[in-house]
Amino acid sequence: MKIAVCVSHVPDTAAKINIGSDGISIDPSGVTYVVNPYDEFAIEEALKSKEKFGGETVAISLGGDANKETLRKALAMGIDNAVLLKDSGYRDSLSVSKALAEEIKAQGAELVFFGKQSVDFDNSVVGQLTAELLGYNCISVAVSFVLDGNKIICEREIEGGKEVVETNLPAVITAQKGLNEPRYASLKGIMAAKKKEIIEKIPAAATNYVEVLTMKKPASKQAGKIIGTDASAVPELIRLLREEAKVI
């Protein structure tokens, strides 16, 4: 079975985000980029699936040359092949999904993993969009994954619990934290990944339907009052919450 995993290259969650001079993108200076945290769970599940069912794994990423770093990380963890869909311009979620769907089709992958969302634009929709474009079944925000023959059973996180979802291959699964424990790349894996070729392709252009007009920082919150330094401040705190904030 051919298994694909789609990965994105994003600013580290510890990064401060500043707006770039164009007013519609972030200022990348001083920002460290990493594998999207949720994609690590997707990579791990792809590797586990290959170990269990055999086949071949491929990591796909859309973006500029910098994304190769994230693809190398996937290779170092044990993914067999990597494809960079080279396009560093702005694409909305659907336009990204169209490029990914095209490549997944070309690869003939029947099982596809994504992280449940990229921690940059936080859309959490690319997996579902790609599945629809491919005509694949899709389970999003999975915290467990079982494949038995053609049948898939996942648990997905919902408000106040989980729901058990069933479907069949071909399918797209988007990974939530808790799905597995991503492995560390071995030294051998890291060395091997350095030698592997990352295949570069130019994806077809697609029209963006979502236009970014402005990017801005949220209004900064004023630091409030320090009420005290021990338990004696508690009655005043509770009074403020009741009478000033009126929240309890």
Partner 1 sequence: MANKILVFIEQRNGLIKKPSFEAAKVAADLAVKLSVTAEAVTVGNEIEGLEKVGSYGVTKVTHFKNSDLTNYSPSAYAELITKFVNENGFDILFFGTTSMGKDLAPRVSAKLDTGLAIDCIALNTNSSDIIATRPIFAGKALVDVKITSPKKVFALRPNVFNPGVPSDAKADLTVVNVDTPNLNVRVTEIKRAEGKLDVAEADIIVSGGRGMKGPEHFHLVEELSQVLGAATGASRAVVDAGWRPHGEQVGQTGKTVSPTLYVALGISGAIQHLAGMRSSKYIVAVNKDKDAPIFQIADYGIVGDLFEVAPAMIEEIKKIKS
Contact 41, 69 (CB under 8 A): no
Among residues 133 and 198, whose Cβ is nearest to partner 1? 133
Among residues 17 and 191, whose Cβ is nearest to partner 1? 17
For the CB of residue 177, give the shortest distance to partner 1 in the complex, in Å: 5
Which of 106, 104, 146, 109 lies closest to 126 in space, CA to CA?
104
Among residues 57 and 93, whose Cβ is nearest to partner 1? 93
- Reported for 234-238, long-range contacts at CB under 8 A and 24+ positions apart, including other chains, are none
For the CB of residue 120, give the shortest distance to partner 1 in the complex, in Å: 6
Amino acid identity, position 174? T
Among residues 66 and 233, whose Cβ is nearest to partner 1? 233
Cα 85 to Cα 103: distance, rounded to the nearest angstrom:
8
For the CB of residue 16, give the shortest distance to partner 1 in the complex, in Å: 7
For the CB of residue 123, give the shortest distance to partner 1 in the complex, in Å: 5
Cα 196 to Cα 80: distance, rounded to the nearest angstrom:
9
